[in-house]
Structure 1
Amino acid sequence: MESYVLDCLLCLLPCSLFFLLCLGLRWPGFCSWVNVAAGAAGWKLWVTTCLILDLPLLHGDEELKPPETSSGQTSDGPRLICKPSALARYLLQHCGSLTKAKLADWPWGDPHLQTVSSQVCGEHADSIQFTREHLLMKDGGVVALDWANRRWEVKKEQQSGTKALGCFTSTPPVLLLVPQTWGGTTPHLQRLSQQAARQGFSVVVFHHRGTAGSPLTTARICEFGDSADLEQAVLYVRSRHPSSVLVAVSEGSGSAVLLSYLGERGSSTCLTAAAAISPVLLGQRWFESAMPPLYRWGVLFHRKMQLSRYVSSLRGILDVDRALRSSSLRDFEETLFCSPTEKVSPSTERNPASPSLRGLTSAAAWALGERAYPAANWESYWGRNEPLRDADEVAVPVLCICSSDDPLLPPASTLPVSLFQSNPYFLLALTDRGGHCGFALDAGQQTDEGRTSGEDEDEGIWSHIAVLEFLRVASDFLKEAERDWKSWRGQQEVNGVRGQKSKMNAAAMSRRRRGATMKRSRPQPAGQSGVDDVDGDPFTWKRSYTR
């Protein structure tokens, strides 16, 4: 009998515990206690996992914040760092996402979770489809362009504010996406492509040669800051869409190519505006800084996998075996671009046009210039590949979005803040949280005048909202500035015509007066001339907002 009662109690025990738990969950105090306990247990488990994987526990609040921010945002949102200018004021007035955003807290706001989610294993539900096109370069190389071929049905209320770019017209704006240097379309770029397509952009992804399944037709791998391929791709896209506005967005290390292109082309670029998400602004510092082992081995794995596909073709030109044995990003990069396998002969030193070190034809070596030959050393390599080497020549607005807790980049205290405070074309949006290309919004965050991020899963990424709105607002500003410039020129031409007419009338009246009275006219004092002075050298609309 006793054993029977004991068995019954044991059978009823789970049901009793479940009943008591249901009663406890009806009590708000007990629910809050359970949430706190679960959060504390999860945090301790995560701390243990990070210690095992040798991942740093980054806290954005502990980072050194750059001084002299130019806006009054709260500490919880992004801080816009830039030089005071008409463009900056216009952005603060019309680009609300740069000033109002609440990023997700832990656990979804953890930098490591956001980084892995954006780069490796993010959601691919309802992913956008691409059509690949191969573009032949001048030196015989091939790059891949993936055009998004999905057209999204958009509500009329979502079309407001996009007319300046030409969205939802026969000539939609073209958004050129530049992925990481190791190639591939990450989940981060997939979601950005989806949201851009919904807003009326024509999306194309530029893939570096030899990456993302594109063939390597020449024995040449592009250096970190080599923008020659991107320049030719931009010209090709412009030829296909001559009437469309062309803008660009890069992610991570791919920003080195985009920033190099903007600096090298200067005011002759075809781009109207550009943005860089989690950019590598200081390339040499990034390669020399200590990266968490998990991320370092992940990046090296991708680079070595690409190189291993072409071992037989590159072994006679590059020290491929040594590169595959390298244990750091610097060793890998330095081996490929600073360490030729064969010794330089005296004839090569006397004749620098000899392309023997790179296995290129004379025409290809002439087109590549100094990049046809290996760099003499590590320092000279960065003299021609640093992303911001020609930053003073950039002539279009560029927004850089960075996070203080980015585990792949150096600390925020090393950012070139002086560049953003002195150059009116560069703007920096710095956040405390976001990881690397993460920037997930807090649940229920209000965006776009009351619309919540829950209405669209892709609108939960703040960086996507910010860059697309920045491109639209910057284009609006440039068009208004161009209209003001044309109006000013027209007024000057009218004033010039009026001045010429008044001068001719004054001369005619003077001749009539001399003929009628036969008296010599007295010289007119300076300052009483009948011709209004016109301003000398006018300023152009591109510089009007930088003063």
Structure 2
Amino acid sequence: MPAYLDTTPCPTPAWLPEGHSQTIFASRFSSHHHVSFVRERVDTPDGDFIDFDWTAPGFAPGAAVEPGLFARLAAAAGTSTASRNGLVLFHGLEGSSASHYAQAISQHFRARGWTVVVPHFRGCSGEPNRLPRAYHSGDSADIAFMLDTVRQRLPEMRWHATGVSLGGNALLKYLGEAGSSAGWLVAAAGVSAPVDLMAGGRILGTGLINRHVYTHMFLRTLKAKTLQKAQRFPGTIDVIRVANARDLYEFDDAYTAPTHGFRDVNDYWTRASSKPLLADINVPTLVLNARNDPFLPGRYLPDASQASDQVVLHQPEQGGHAGFPTGRFPSNLNWLPQRLAVFFRSGR
């Protein structure tokens, strides 16, 4: 059977009338609670590290994981149904646990007794990673490592997973590749995931706002990090092409694709896209995309025939990219975590 298609609207404010305003206002001005985390650094098998930011009721945030933290969380998980639930939250391109969506989602679930952990893609936690490589939109191997790490820490937890934007695409790709072996997850969600990277990447390179606001924002930090890597690893990165990249197509062709084992940017964007793998997902999964998302408009979104019967495709007309602002001025970010909670509870 095909996926279930949900077109229920997100009630965005009338004064945020289209995708750009909804995206920008949500990321810059909408109100949300602020969450502090406890950080755990985990070494990877290839000699790098990944930083995991943890939060849960009943422990004080600090600079690093304290002895006995996971024992306390495991003990708390035996006291109520809510505290047995955990959420792994994967951030988007150049995001972190400080991103607006990560803060809003983490606070919502922590306030309801859940343990929440935000693993950072390599180089996104505020400190350069150790290798020439970084992260990419189809990094399902690192998704698998992060999920396995979390599961090892708290094996009795009822784990859920959510990925936003780039993290959503990588999570959905992992779920499609893993099939039934990902069945230990209770449920998952991809939010504003650019499931068609070829379409999304080209769209971000066109138009005044896409090219000069979003692309400029991403390239500012991506290029700075990559050129710093080039100084640490001479001869491994084409610094001229990276420095001169004018959009994500040129940046990914110069650095992301060759560094992470792809022939070129077209090979990367094709092989890393999660859309062809939605039909293979075997875990209850919400795929939430606003049809006015300026990063991937509605005409490129999957239809019900392209996903498995374990997938709910929710495609409201409004919401922007990783935004979904609602309520009175200056709006709030409550709708997105509430939508996730409904799906995790009901499967719809």
TM bucket, shorter chain = 0.7 to 0.9
For residues 383-462 of structure 1, the aligned pairs below 5 Å read 383-407=270-294, 409-420=295-306, 423-443=308-328, 461-462=334-335
1:178 aligns with 2:90: yes
Is 1:307 the equivalent of 2:226?
yes
Equivalent in the alignment of 1:114 = 22
Q: What's the counterpart of residue 143 of structure 2?
A: 230
Give matches, 1:3-402, under 5 Å: 83=2, 103-108=11-16, 110-123=18-31, 126-151=33-58, 168-169=80-81, 171-184=83-96, 185-269=98-182, 270-289=184-203, 290=206, 291-338=210-257, 374-402=261-289
Identity of aligned residues (%): 26
1:114 is displaced (CA, Å) by: 2.6
Structure 1 residue 215: Cα displacement: 3.5
Q: TM-score, normalised by structure 2?
A: 0.83
**Which whole-Å deviations, capped at 9, do the CAs of 1:175-199 have from their partners, x for residues lacking one?**
0111112232311210111111112
Distance of aligned partners of 1:110 and 1:380 in 2 relative to their CA distance in 1, 3 Å threshold: closer
Q: Distance in 1 between matches of 2:304 and 2:276?
A: 14
Cα distance in 1 for partners of 2:164, 2:56 equals 21
CA distance in 1, matches of 2:9, 2:170: 29
**For residue 103 of structure 1, what is the amino acid of its counterpart?**
P
In 2, the alpha carbon distance for the partners of 1:379 and 1:308 equals: 23
Is 1:135–1:233's contact at 8 Å kept on the other side of the alignment? no
**1:143, 1:229 within 8 Å by CA — same for their partners in 2?**
no
Instruction: Tell whether the 8 Å contact from 1:129 to 1:149 is kept in structure 2 after alignment.
Output: no
Distance in 1 between residues matched to 2:249 and 2:224, nearest whole Å: 17
Q: 5+ unaligned residues in a row in structure 1: which ranges?
A: 1-81, 93-97, 153-164, 340-357, 359-370, 445-456, 478-547
After superposition, what is the alpha-carbon deviation per residue over 1:258-289, rounded to whole angstroms, capped at 9, x for unaligned?
A: 11211221111132211111111101221122
Q: Relative to structure 1, is the Cα distance of residues 380 and 187 closer, same or farther in structure 2, using a 3 angstrom cutoff?
A: closer
Query: What do the CA deviations read for 1:461-520 (whole angstroms, capped 9, x no partner)?
Result: 32221111101223xx9xxxxxxxxxxxxxxxxxxxxxxxxxxxxxxxxxxxxxxxxxxx
- What SS does the aligned partner of 1:466 have? helix
Whether the 8 Å CA contact 1:275–1:398 is kept in 2: the answer is: yes
Alignment size in residue pairs: 324
Pair 1:434–1:256, CA change in 2 (3 A) = same
Are the aligned partners of 2:16 and 2:22 in contact in 1 as well (CA < 8 Å)? yes
Amino acid of the structure 1 residue aligned with 2:94:
W
Q: CA deviation at 1:100?
A: 6.2
SS in 1 for 2:275: coil
Deviation of residue 145 (structure 1)? 0.5
Question: Aligned partners of 1:273 and 1:174: how far apart in 2?
Answer: 11
Deviation at 1:324, TM superposition (A): 2.3
Matched with 2:70 is none
TM-score normalized by the length of structure 1: 0.54
SS at match of 1:431: coil
**Letter paired with 2:278:** A
User: Which amino acid in structure 1 is aligned with residue 262 of structure 2?
Assistant: A
Structure with the higher helix share, 1 or 2: 1
Q: Aligned partners of 1:423, 1:239: CA distance in 2, in Å?
A: 28
What are the superposed Cα offsets for residues 270-313 of structure 1, whole Å, 9 maximum, x if unpaired? 32211111111101221122234212211212322332442312
Mapped partners of 1:112, 1:234: distance in 2: 33
Structure 1 residues 321 and 181: CA distance shift in structure 2, 3 A = same
**In structure 1, distance between residues paired with 2:141 and 2:55:** 24
Q: Secondary structure at the match of 2:190?
A: strand
User: Residue 403 of structure 1: SS of its match in structure 2?
Assistant: coil
Post-superposition shift, 1:415?
A: 1.3
Any conservation in 2 of the 1:248–1:275 contact (CA below 8 Å)?
A: yes
User: In structure 1, what is the equivalent of residue 344 of structure 2?
Assistant: 471
RMSD: 3.0
Distance in 2 separating the partners of 1:172 and 1:309: 42
Q: Distance in 2 between matches of 1:284 and 1:388?
A: 11
Structure 1 residues 170 and 104: alpha-carbon distance in aligned structure 2, compared to 1, 3 A threshold: closer
Q: Distance in 2 between matches of 1:435 and 1:223?
A: 22
Higher relative contact order, chain-length normalized (CA < 8 Å, sep 6+) = 2
